[in-house]
Amino acid sequence: MAASPYSCVLWDVDGTIADASAGILPRLIEVFAAFGLPEPSADRLALWIGPPMFESFQELAGLSPDDAQRAVTMYRELAARDGYAASVRIYPGVPEVLHAVAAAGIPQATASSKPENQVAAILEHYRLTAPFAAVVGARADVPGQHDDKAAVIARALQELTAAGLDLSRPVLIGDRHHDVEGGARFGIPVIFVDWGFGAPGEAAGSIAEVSAPDDLLRILLPQA
């Protein structure tokens, strides 16, 4: 078993494991049209990837909380229509990191702001469920509830704890400032990946910033 400085690894999904941007923009265009809003520009798409949609429909589209709730519902219906794994690609090299960490006996869990059923569908489609001890995302089955990053991290930690796994030295892998801030709520260090959708400066507060999966693997398994 390879040695690691960490006893468990939490993973963001959008922008860290998977790139779902090709399907997100067309769905946003449909939702914007339904609310009489001008079509969102492709160059602002990165702002929508990572944060909870309920938050983004208010902050980025200017909708009221009630309209944001309706927009989220419509967006999720469109995602279900298209297929949750449609237009999603997995970042090259990331599956190898997941499998290497799992082979080293280090438990892993997702902690994603994407709805949990969508996270599960993507991992199942790409046969990436096995490396994870827990698959956790935002709860989409509770009307009006919108989990932020801290909420999904808390649930991931709870599931790992319930499984009797070691949480003494956790680390979170992510690509947005929401990951860094969410990790800080629990004293969890964050490794920031540059292949996602973070803007300059969003890595502030992370313990490391990496530009390639091989670099990430060397931090997680320095003796591998």
Q: Where are the domains of the chain?
A: 8-19+89-220, 21-82
138 forms beta bridges with 115
C-beta separation of 197 from 22 below 8 A = no
Residue 138 three-state SS:
strand
Share of the chain above pLDDT 90, in %: 71
Q: What is the pLDDT of residues 92-122, one digit of tens each?
A: 999 999 999 999 999 999 999 888 999 999 9
pLDDT of 181 over the 80 cut: yes
Helices and strands in the chain: count of H runs, count of E runs: 8, 7
Overall pTM surpassing 0.75 (yes/no): yes
Comparing 73-82, 181-190, 205-214, 215-224, which segment has the lowest mean pLDDT? 73-82
Half-sphere exposure of 137 (CA within 13 A, CB side): 20
* CATH superfamily name and code, 8-19+89-220: HAD superfamily/HAD-like (3.40.50.1000)
Residue 40 three-state SS:
coil
As assigned by CATH, the class of the 21-82 domain is mainly alpha
Average pLDDT, the chain: 92
Eight-state DSSP code of residue 134: B
Tokens of 126: 């790409």
Q: Tell me the C-alpha distance between 141 and 143, whole Å.
A: 6
